[in-house]
Structure 1
Amino acid sequence: MFSLEVETTLEYLNKGGIILYPTDTIWGIGCDATNATAVSKIYQLKKRAESKSMLCLVSSIRMLEKYIYEIPDAAYDILEHSANPTTIIYDKPIGIAENLIADDDSLGMRLVKKGFAFELLKKLKRPLVSTSANISGYPAPKNFNEISKEILNGVDYVVNLPGESQNSKPSSIIKLKSDGLVQIIRK
């Protein structure tokens, strides 16, 4: 269903480009999460300080395990039982662009289970940056039509699926420390 758009988007990602794409929640700006130069381009476009980390999407538990040093047992239960898209902030990410990792050596990652982002991640085989499609400090757009011209013109590729969006709200965010401490950041 998405194969042509996935292939076109992959070409941009593999060249270090940044994309505007439908996630499992809202429209997001993304790039290959292992490419620090591409990550910097997103920070510049959003006018966001690099000290404010962004999250990443993965398509499987296996991919998650490759990029997080140690996944707490509680994370597996949360991933299996959460009905809504849930981002978990993990300690000690590995193999990820350094400018994505927070000062406390943590990174938010969300397991995507369906849709365009899932199909793209399966082909990319690496995590994908996902940050809301807005300039920092402005509200996140609820649909494609609310995305500013500055964002539309600032990315290297806009995925041609303007009606594709699963939700109109961002994911829940949970911080899960290696020692078992759980903190809800956003419901």
Structure 2
Amino acid sequence: MTFEFEEDITNSLRILKEGGVILYPTDTVWGLGCDATNASAVKRIYEIKKRADEKAMIILVADERDVLKHVASPDLSIFDYLAQRPKPTTVIYPGALGLADNLTGADGSIAIRICNDIFCKHLIKRLGKPIVSTSANISGQPTAGSFAGISEEIKNQVDYIVHHRQEETKPAQPSSIIKWNGENDITVIRD
């Protein structure tokens, strides 16, 4: 790990533990993030994005065990399905557990992605909690494909901007989103 990487992890952890919001790279697009168990931090992200709070957001977890901690009774065959997916996939699960109430859908569901990005995995494991991941844009505006495309309006409202991967210019794509109702009953929300 480089000094910059470790410094970004340390600074991000401090901000997340204080209830702040970070701007950080994920395995898809750059995201706004906070502790997914902190309702006031989640509220702040809705305010930064100017997004209605009835629209649920995605959380990132480090591994399958984290899904089991935050979903009432997940169908374990989802993990085999995800292992075969060619791109990052977010799954909407029923029965969210232990998360901020203003983060889950009205029906108690939660959108979770097991993150494959090394920075995110380190951050989540060291925080010991999932983190919110929502695109770093004002609601209704296009999602930035790289750090350079993120508006100053967003950058000026966060508590910490991660330096890791800011120089990348290859446009990133959002994750696929599915609702898992069982192996033979998958609803594709975004491909």
TM over 0.5: yes
User: Contact conserved, 1:91 with 1:177, CA < 8 A, in 2?
Assistant: no
Deviation digits for residues 140-169 of structure 1 (CA, Å, limit 9, x no counterpart) = 000001100110001111111212588610
Aligned residues: 187
Worse overlay, 1-10 or 146-155: 1-10
Residue 48 in structure 1 maps to residue 51 in structure 2? yes
User: Contact conserved, 1:24 with 1:165, CA < 8 A, in 2?
Assistant: no
Alignment partner for residue 172 of structure 2, among 168, 175, 181? Answer: 168
CA RMSD of aligned residues (A): 1.7
Q: Distance in 2 between matches of 1:69 and 1:80?
A: 21
User: Contact conserved, 1:55 with 1:109, CA < 8 A, in 2?
Assistant: yes
Give the match for residue 72 of structure 2. 69
Hey, which bits of structure 1, 4+ residues long, moved more than 6 A? none
Normalization by structure 1: what TM-score?
0.94
Residue 4 in structure 1 maps to residue 7 in structure 2? yes
Deviation digits for residues 2-54 of structure 1 (CA, Å, limit 9, x no counterpart) = 22211111000000000000001010000000000000000000000000010
Normalization by structure 2: what TM-score?
0.93
Alignment partner for residue 81 of structure 2, among 78, 81, 86? Answer: 78
Q: 1:165 to 1:99 in 2, by over 3 A?
A: farther
Residue 113 in structure 1 maps to residue 116 in structure 2? yes
Kindly, what percent of the aligned residue pairs are identical? 45
Worse overlay, 161-170 or 2-11: 161-170
Worse overlay, 122-131 or 175-184: 175-184
User: Contact conserved, 1:23 with 1:166, CA < 8 A, in 2?
Assistant: no
User: Contact conserved, 1:112 with 1:118, CA < 8 A, in 2?
Assistant: yes
Give the match for residue 156 of structure 1. 159
What secondary structure is seen at the aligned counterpart in 1 of 2:10?
helix
Give the match for residue 61 of structure 2. 58
Gaps of at least 5 residues in structure 2 are none
Gaps of at least 5 residues in structure 1 are none
Worse overlay, 177-186 or 53-62: 177-186
User: Contact conserved, 2:32 with 2:135, CA < 8 A, in 1?
Assistant: yes
Give the match for residue 187 of structure 2. 183
**2:186 maps to amino acid:** V
